Chain A
Amino acid sequence: MSIVLLIAVPLFFAFLGIILKKAAPYFLLLVSFFNVLALGFISQGAIVIGGYSSFYGIQLVLNSYSLIGLYVVNTLFFVIVAINCFKHKKLSPILLISLAGLNGLLLTNDLFNLFVFMEIAGISAYLITTTTKDPKSTFNYLVLGTIGSSFYLLGLIILYAMFGVLNIRILGNIIEGVVTNKAAVALPFLFIFIGLGVETKLLPFNSWVKGILGKSNALTGPLVGAVYASAFAFVFGNLLRYLFVFSESLLLIVSILLVATILIGEAMAYASTKVREILLFSSIAQAGVAVLVFALGYYTWGTILIALNGFSKLILYLVVNIAVDQVKSDELSALKGLFVNNKLIGAGFSVATLSILGLPIFAGFIVKMNILVAMANTPKFFFVGVILLASLIEGIYFIKLLINFWFEQDQAPRVKYSYVVIYVTLVIALLITVFGVYLEPLNSIHSTLNLVKGVVMHG
C-alpha cells in the first residue's frame, strides 16, 4: 500500500462529502479509521511524486519517526472524530481535509510541500475553530498563522536561493557538509523557526492560543490542543533533526525563547483561575519542553514525550471541555467537585495529569527522568534546572486542580460523560500506567512499532 493514500483518501472523500452531504460524517468516521488501520500495512521507505529524482521531485518519507507521528495523530484524530462527528456534521469535509494536511505534514520531505500542508492544515483549523462562535479569536488565529507561514516561506525561499534545493534531507546534508560558517544560514533558519513557532505555540508568537483554546469546545480543544500540537511538534522535531544547523548565536536566541516559553507558560498557568486557561498555558510550556529536547538533540525521548503529551492532553481537554459545555463556566470555583459524581473519569484525568507532571509509576516519569539524565550526562545542568523548576510549578497548579475537582462539596456539578469518553479516558490512563511500570516497550520503541504492525497485519 502506498503512503500517498494516507493523504489522497481523506482528500478524495472530503470532496465526495461535499457532493453527498448526508454521507459526509460516515465518510469521516470510516476514513479516519481506515487511516489508523492502513498504517499497519504500509511499508517504510521513500517515494517521489511523479517519478522524478529526489533532488527535484516532492519526496514523501515514512520512517520510524514519521510512523510514530502518524500513529499518534491518526489515533487521536479518530478518537476525537468518533466523539464529535455527529455533533458537527457540516464540518466533516473540512475535518477530512485537515486529516490529509496533518498526514502530509508528517510525511513530506520537501520544504515547500511542507508549507502547502501547513496551510491546508491551518486553513482547516481556522474553519474548525469557527464552531466556538468567536470570530474575533479565529481572525486573530488566521492573521498570526498567515504571518507565521509567510515567515516560513521567506526562510525556505532564501534557503532555495542559497542552495538550489528544497529536499529537507539533501539540504541538511549540504549545509552540514559544505557551509563552514553556520551563521550564514542563521537568518533563514530564524524565519523558519518563527514560522513553526506560531503553530507550535512558542513565545512570543502564541497570542492566538488564549482566544482559541481559552474558549474551546469538545471538538476544538482536543483537536488543536492535542492533535495539531502533536503534529506540529513532530514537524519541528523533524526539521531540528534533519535540517537545522545552529550557529552559536542562533542556538542562544532559540534557547532563550524556549526557556522563556517554558517558564512564562508555567507561571501563567499557575496564576490562572480558569480551567481551560490553566490547560492552555500548561500546553505552551509543554511545547517549549518538547522543542527544547529536540533542539538539544535527544530525539528518541523527544518523540516519546510528544506522543505521551498528545494522549494525556486529549484526556485533559476532552474532560474539561465537556464539563465546561454543560456547566457553562470554566472558572475553577464552578467546577469544584467535578469528579465526585464521575469517579472513573476522575481517575483517568488524574492519571493523565500525574503523568504530565512526571510522577513515578506513570509513563511521564520514565520519559522525564531519561531526558533529565541525558541532559545531566551531556552536561547541560542549566536546562535540567529549568525543567525541574517548571515541573515544580506544574506540580503546584495541577495538584491544586485535582484537589478542587475531587473535593466534595454539597453542590458538585452534575456533568454527564458518554460511555465512549469514559472508555477512551480509561484505556489511555491504563496505557500510561502500564508503560510507566513496564519499561521495555519505551526503551526499544522501534521494535515495539514493528510488533504493533505485526499484530495489526497478522492478528
Chain B
Amino acid sequence: MLLYASVLLIVIGLYGLLTNRNVIKIILSLNVLEIGLNIFIITVGFLDLEEAIAPIITLQQRASVIVVDPLPQALVLTAIVIGVGTTAIGLSLAKKMYDKYHTFNLDEMGEE
C-alpha cells in the first residue's frame, strides 16, 4: 500500500513540475516528488518483512525480533538533508527572481 502511495506522490510531483509555471508551486512539486521518492526508499526495506520493527539496537535485544533493513533508512536521512538544501537554494532563487521581475510566474518574466 505504502509503495503505491509513494509512486502516486512521485507521479503527482512530476505532474506538478510539468504543468506549473509558478516558481513556488514548482518548488512544492519538487518537494512532493522528493517525499514520494523517500517513502519509496523506506518501503524497499520493508518489502519482505511486514512484521519487522525499526532497526534500533537495545539492551534487551532478542534474537527472535526481526528488524527492517537499516540501510534504506540511512539513505533516506541523507536524501532528506540534500532535499532541504535544494529547497533552500530554490527559495532563495525565487526571492531573487521576485526582486528582479516582481512576479513568481516564469512566463511573465520573459526572455532576456
Please say whether chains A and B are actual partners in one complex: yes
Q: Which residues of A approach B to under 8 Å, CB–CB?
A: 112, 116, 119, 123, 126-127, 130, 134-136, 138-139, 142-143, 146-147, 150, 153-154, 157, 160-161, 215
| B97 touching A136, Cβ below 8 Å | yes
Give the distance in Å from the alpha carbon of A130 to the alpha carbon of B14 in the complex: 25
Bitwise, B1-32 to A at CB < 8 A (1) or not (0) is 00000000010001001000001001000100
A-B contact pairs, 10 of them (CB 8 A): A126-B89, A135-B96, A135-B97, A135-B100, A136-B97, A143-B90, A153-B41, A154-B37, A154-B40, A157-B75
| B41 touching A157, Cβ below 8 Å | yes
Give the distance in Å from the alpha carbon of A139 to the alpha carbon of B95 in the complex: 11
Give the distance in Å from the alpha carbon of A130 to the alpha carbon of B89 in the complex: 11
Q: How far is the CB of B20 from chain A (nearest CB, A)?
A: 10
**Which has the most chain B C-beta neighbours within 10 Å: A123, A134, A138, A146?**
A146
Judged by a CB distance under 8 angstroms, whether B112 is at the interface is yes
Q: How far is the CB of B12 from chain A (nearest CB, A)?
A: 13
- Describe B's contact surface by its main secondary structure: helix
Q: Which residues of B contact A119 (CB under 8 A)?
A: 82, 85-86
Contacting residues of chain B (18-63) with chain A, CB-CB under 8 angstroms:
23, 26, 30, 33-34, 37, 40-41, 44, 47
Using known A-B contacts A139-B94, A150-B37, A153-B37, determine if residue A160 contacts B89 with beta carbons closer than 8 Å: no
Known A-B contacts: A123-B89, A135-B97. Give 8 more (CB < 8 A): A123-B82, A123-B86, A135-B100, A136-B97, A138-B93, A139-B90, A139-B94, A157-B72
Give the contacting residue for A123; candidates B23, B30, B85; CB below 8 A.
Answer: B85
Give the distance in Å from the alpha carbon of A135 to the alpha carbon of B98 in the complex: 10
Q: How far is the CB of A137 from chain B (nearest CB, A)?
A: 9
* Interface size of B in residues (CB-CB distance below 8 Å): 32
| A139 touching B82, Cβ below 8 Å | no
Using known A-B contacts A112-B75, A116-B78, A146-B30, determine if residue A157 contacts B44 with beta carbons closer than 8 Å: yes
Closest to B96 in A: A135
Judged by a CB distance under 8 angstroms, whether B67 is at the interface is no
Give the distance in Å from the alpha carbon of A136 to the alpha carbon of B90 in the complex: 10
| B89 touching A147, Cβ below 8 Å | no
7 nearest CB pairs, A to B: A135-B96, A161-B44, A139-B93, A119-B82, A135-B97, A135-B93, A157-B41
| B89 touching A161, Cβ below 8 Å | no
Using known A-B contacts A119-B82, A123-B86, determine if residue A134 contacts B26 with beta carbons closer than 8 Å: no
Q: Which residues of A contact B90 (CB under 8 A)?
A: 139, 142-143
Q: How far is the CB of B18 from chain A (nearest CB, A)?
A: 10
Closest to B75 in A: A112
Judged by a CB distance under 8 angstroms, whether B106 is at the interface is yes
Q: Which residues of A contact B37 (CB under 8 A)?
A: 150, 153-154
| B33 touching A157, Cβ below 8 Å | no
Using known A-B contacts A112-B75, A157-B75, A161-B47, determine if residue A139 contacts B85 with beta carbons closer than 8 Å: no
Closest to A215 in B: B112
Give the contacting residue for A143; candidates B17, B34, B40; CB below 8 A.
Answer: B17
Give the distance in Å from the alpha carbon of A269 to the alpha carbon of B70 in the complex: 49
Q: Which residues of A contact B23 (CB under 8 A)?
A: 139
Q: Which residues of B contact A161 (CB under 8 A)?
A: 44, 47
Using known A-B contacts A157-B41, A161-B47, determine if residue A150 contacts B33 with beta carbons closer than 8 Å: yes
Using known A-B contacts A135-B100, A136-B106, determine if residue A142 contacts B86 with beta carbons closer than 8 Å: yes
Q: How far is the CB of A423 from chain B (nearest CB, A)?
A: 34
Judged by a CB distance under 8 angstroms, whether B109 is at the interface is yes
Q: Which residues of A contact B86 (CB under 8 A)?
A: 119, 123, 142, 146
Q: Which residues of A contact B78 (CB under 8 A)?
A: 112, 116
Using known A-B contacts A139-B97, A143-B26, A160-B72, determine if residue A116 contacts B82 with beta carbons closer than 8 Å: yes
Bitwise, B73-110 to A at CB < 8 A (1) or not (0) is 00100110010011001100110110011000010010
Q: How far is the CB of A130 from chain B (nearest CB, A)?
A: 8
Q: Which residues of B contact A147 (CB under 8 A)?
A: 14, 17, 30, 33
Closest to B112 in A: A134
Q: How far is the CB of B5 from chain A (nearest CB, A)?
A: 15
Q: Which residues of B contact A123 (CB under 8 A)?
A: 82, 85-86, 89
Closest to B31 in A: A146
**Which has the most chain A C-beta neighbours within 10 Å: B34, B71, B86, B100?**
B86
Q: Which residues of A contact B97 (CB under 8 A)?
A: 135-136, 139
Q: Which residues of B contact A136 (CB under 8 A)?
A: 97, 101, 106, 109, 112
Q: Which residues of A contact B10 (CB under 8 A)?
A: 154
Q: How far is the CB of A163 from chain B (nearest CB, A)?
A: 12
Q: Which residues of B contact A126 (CB under 8 A)?
A: 89, 93
Q: Which residues of A contact B17 (CB under 8 A)?
A: 143, 147
Give the distance in Å from the alpha carbon of A154 to the alpha carbon of B33 in the complex: 11
